[in-house]
Structure 1
Amino acid sequence: MFNLKLSALVFALPLVLAAPSKRALPAECAKLAPVAEDLLENLFEGVCGDSAHGALRLIFHDAIGISPVVGGGGADGSIITFNETELAFEANDGLDDVLADVGPFFLKHQNVISSGDFVQLAGALSLAACPGAPKVQFFAGRPPPKAASPNFLVPEPFNTTDQILERFASVGFSPPEIIALLSSHSIAGADTVDPTIPGTPFDTTPSVYDTNIFIDVLLKGFLFPGTAGNQGEVMTAVNGTLRLQSDFELARDPRTACVWQEFATNQPLMASKFAPAVLKLSLLGQDVNKLTDCSALIPQPPALKDTPEFPPGQFLSDIQDSCAVARFPDLPTQPGPPLDIAPIPQADGGDDDS
């Protein structure tokens, strides 16, 4: 079983989020309002930090566990109920610490919420303190999972673009929807790609849901933040950030490059496409007609006025232009010395490779 230590994570000044209202909620949703309040106040604590990153990661790793060939229950909470099996999967490396962070909250409320609903509720709530993030819908009523997910269903950062597109296509996701889901990397980081540098954010400044990830991945890479030669990692362009091989290749593949570029300069579009893609992910393996829309439990994340810019010292000439039908636009360059992004402060032992 996973370790039940609670997070002691402290970030910058937390946001004050309104507690979900119990008024006029369907009964299925009203009983979950105390769970949502507890997660907002005592797990996420109003910050877009490591606990939020981990909860968002769980949405994906739980839901993608379904295949028309080998089965699986999809977004059913099996990653919690059958954690001894699923945490042994290579692609779920690091999730033991995520479950150590969020697991006590599920055990506290398991009499009123299924493991599948808990994963999706926590993931939707995790974005509430991330400036610029969209509000993600949440549906409740998932039955308990029947079995562990089969292995080898979670894409890895060293998989080829063909493998990633085929895996997602098998459960109904188009290439643009895949890129929309990768917007989550704007607020995520890695511990296990290069274990010598835990908490390394991906090609972006973490904790703000903005376009940096889509700009920075297109820059010519020239450094590693830690050690070289790690599987699934390629050189990055901003010191202190880690670039996944899969992100690098998807940003340059003709099937996905133009969507990637469009998100790089259009934060509202990025957010508007992410929300329905995550909802679709959260319903894999479920009959939506048997679920209840409890989206009223999810607060609206704070707004963000995003101005797309190149990092200090980088310019249009540093972009590896990959969209065949539109040139990458010339953006302003941030003033100041070259960036050196600090690691993400970790929840107590937490990992996050969203």
Structure 2
Amino acid sequence: MRISSTLAVALATTVSEASVVHRAADAGGVCPPIWTQISKQLTTMFVSADGQCNHDARTAIRAAFHDCGTWNQAQGPRGGCDGSLFLSAEENARVENRGLQDIAVKLTALARSSGVGVADMIAFAGAHGTVSCPLGPTVKTMIGRIDSARPAPNEGLLPGNSSESADSIISLFADKGFSAPDVAALIGAHSSAQQFFVDPTRAGQAQDRTPGIWDVDYYADTVSRTPSVFTFQSDMNIASDPRSGPTFKSFIGQQVNWNKAFADTFSRMMLLGVQANGLVDCTSALPPPRDNFPGANLPVNAAPGAPSGGGSSGSSGSGASGGSGGSGGSGGYGGYGGPGGPGKGAPGGPPGFPGGPMGGPWGMWGGRKGLAVAARDVHVAPTPAAVSPST
């Protein structure tokens, strides 16, 4: 795989192949103020005008998995979360890291301009990307890793393909210290994922119906084989395996439980290969979570904008008038531009009533505010049925 000239220059100006750099935190154990400034810049980078997390946030989360996930027990207190994903041109160009080159340039540049380590930047940005997504949890984030430009062992330490067996994935993560239920929690990061390389003809297709929201639609969509989303065979294998499947299905409709499990497991992943001495807690530098958001956790058969169940009228917005209410639902999504608002869509009723404009980025929601009441807390009961591994 060819690496871009921009990335090649960025990598060439980092550290030599054999060197390491320790980006120590404040001696007193207090999170350096620079991370609060970095956090503000990442919020601008990761959150779109509609309040959802964007492509940069998704790739930052994936980068943290790929930097840290190359560790196994044989490596001991080295490797893993060391920044080599960005600092080693060889590692960055591996096929499993396709699509991470742009975020590598952006985050490496931010680390350099801020005077912090690349390994810490990858981990912090991964945690930030998670909480930048609506409903995303706060992940405990430690700072003080050692940077290394030595490439991680090229030994298949990351899941290799989209059809990998559950046995292979569970064994791979067991060698990193994670259980099968841990795998079921971690794989939920696909809630905000899009695929670009498994099937290039469907590049950009999301792996659940709400890729800009960190919700549990992913679990319901995977189990129900929702046609409108792109589901990896490997994900279905994890959903149906007796070791990981029960936990996987238990997250359907259970946002709080999944957030807790994911945050715990992801925080442990971001310490793989990291020496504990000198680390400080910079979790407080992350933005606060947003526990509610319009359109999150839709019923399995409901497309965004057509929820079932009644709801109160939403506040006015700057979008076009709300669409017709869903079956027993609120007004649909407001469009962009023009006056608009949610209105009270009666069951099968008329379009939402137009409202006055609202300034700021939230104005674009229009009728979407009303959608929140109907759809936000609607959960899908877990199903005991196993998922067939067939395509």
Q: In the alignment, is the contact (CA less than 8 A) between 1:3 and 1:97 conserved in 2? A: no
Counterpart in the other structure of 1:132: 135
* CA radius of gyration, larger in: 2
Alignment: residue pair count: 277
Decide whether aligned partners of structure 1 residues 266 and 283 sit closer, same or farther in structure 2, where only a CA change above 3 A counts.
same
**Structure 2 counterpart of 1:155, one-letter code:** P
Aligned pair partner of 1:311 in 290, 297, 301: 301
Q: CA deviation at 1:149?
A: 0.6
Whether the 8 Å CA contact 2:69–2:269 is kept in 1: the answer is yes
Of 261, 270, 295, the residue aligned with 1:273 is 261
Q: Residue 74 of structure 1 corresponds to which residue in structure 2?
A: 80
Aligned to 1:165: 170
- Structure 1 pair 74/81, CA: closer, same or farther in 2 (3 Å)? same
CA contact (8 A) 2:70 2:152 kept: yes
Paired with 1:43 and 1:103, the residues of 2 have a C-alpha distance of: 16
- 1:27 Cα deviation (Å)? 4.7
Distance 1:70 1:125, change over 3 A: closer
Contact 1:2 1:99 in 2 (8 A): no
The whole-number CA distance in structure 1 between the counterparts of 2:200 and 2:105 is 19
Q: Which runs of 5+ in 1 are unaligned?
A: 6-24, 222-236, 314-333, 337-354
Structure possessing the higher relative contact order (Cα contacts under 8 Å, 6 or more residues apart): 1
Residue 159 of structure 2 aligns to which amino acid in structure 1? P
User: By how many angstroms is 1:266 displaced?
Assistant: 0.8
Q: CA deviation at 1:256?
A: 1.1
- Residues 77-156 of structure 1: pairs in structure 2 closer than 5 A: 77-82=83-88, 84-109=89-114, 112-145=115-148, 147-151=150-154, 152-156=156-160
CA distance in 1, matches of 2:272, 2:81: 6
Q: SS at 2:261's partner residue?
A: helix
Q: Give yes or no for contact 1:187–1:208 (8 Å, CA) kept in 2.
A: yes
RMSD: 2.4
The 1-side partners of 2:298 and 2:251 are apart by 10
Contact preservation (8 Å) 1:168, 1:174: yes
Q: CA offsets, 1:23-63, max 9 Å, x none?
A: xx955422332222222234546640101001010110000
Q: Does 1:50 align with 2:55?
A: yes
State the secondary structure of the residue aligned to 1:283.
Answer: coil
Normalising by structure 2, report the TM-score.
0.65
| Alignment partner, residue 199 of structure 1 | 204
Q: Deviations over 1:309-330 (max 9, x none)?
A: 22249xxxxxxxxxxxxxxxxx
Counterpart Cα distance in 2 of 1:42 and 1:155: 28
Q: State whether structure 2 residue 264 is matched by structure 1 residue 259.
A: no
Instruction: Report how far residue 271 of structure 1 moved.
Output: 0.6
For residues 249-282 of structure 1, the C-alpha deviation after alignment (integer angstroms, 9 at most, x for no partner) is 1111111111111101211101111101110000
CA shift digits 1:70-90 (9 cap, x unpaired): 6760011110111x1112322
For 1:227-263, what per-residue CA distance to the aligned partner results, in whole angstroms no more than 9, with x for missing partners?
A: xxxxxxxxxx322x21101101111111111111110
Inter-CA distance 202–3: structure 2 relative to 1 (3 Å threshold): farther
The residue aligned with 2:370 is none
Distance 2:237 2:107 in 1: 32
> For residues 2 and 290 of structure 1, do their structure 2 counterparts lie closer, same or farther at Cα, with a shift above 3 Å needed?
farther
Residues 212-291 of structure 1: pairs in structure 2 closer than 5 A: 212-219=217-224, 221=225, 237-239=226-228, 241-291=229-279
CA contact (8 A) 1:153 1:167 kept: yes
Distance 1:44 1:76, change over 3 A: farther
Contact 1:214 1:263 in 2 (8 A): yes
Preserved contact between residue 36 and residue 297 of structure 1 (Cα < 8 Å): yes
- Give the residue type in structure 1 aligned to 2:82: D
Instruction: State the SS of the aligned residue for 2:102.
Output: helix
Q: CA deviation at 1:129?
A: 2.6
TM-score (norm 1): 0.72
Alignment partners' CA distance in 2, 1:335 and 1:69: 56
Aligned mates of 2:204, 2:327 — CA distance in 1: 26
Q: Is the 8 A contact 1:43 1:102 kept in 2?
A: no
1:106 shift after superposition: 2.9
Please give the secondary structure, in 2, of the residue aligned with 1:144: strand
- Taking structure 1 as reference, are residues 3 and 199 closer, same or farther at Cα in structure 2, changes over 3 Å only? farther
Alignment partner, residue 59 of structure 1: 64
**Partners in 1 of 2:264 and 2:72 — Cα distance?**
21
Residue 38 of structure 1 is matched in structure 2 by 41
In structure 2, which of residues 170, 175, 184 is the aligned counterpart of residue 179 of structure 1?
A: 184
> Gaps (5+ residues) in structure 2?
8-27, 304-325, 329-391
**Cα distance between partner residues in 1 of 2:252 and 2:276:** 32
Superposition deviation, residue 184 in structure 1: 0.9
C-alpha distance in structure 2 between counterparts of 1:209 and 1:32, whole Å: 23
- Specify the code of the residue in structure 1 equivalent to 2:158: V
Q: Which of 43-52 and 252-261 deviates more?
A: 43-52
Q: 1:40 to 1:26 in 2, by over 3 A?
A: farther
Write the letter of the residue equivalent to 1:73: G
Point out the more displaced range, 124-133 or 269-278. Answer: 124-133
Kept in 2, the 8 Å contact 1:57–1:123? The answer is yes
What CA distance in whole angstroms lies between the structure 2 residues aligned with 1:2 and 1:293?
A: 35
Q: Distance in 1 between matches of 2:214 and 2:45?
A: 22
What do the CA deviations read for 1:147-183 (whole angstroms, capped 9, x no partner)?
1111121113222111101110001000111111112
- State the SS of the aligned residue for 2:116: coil
Identical-pair percentage: 29
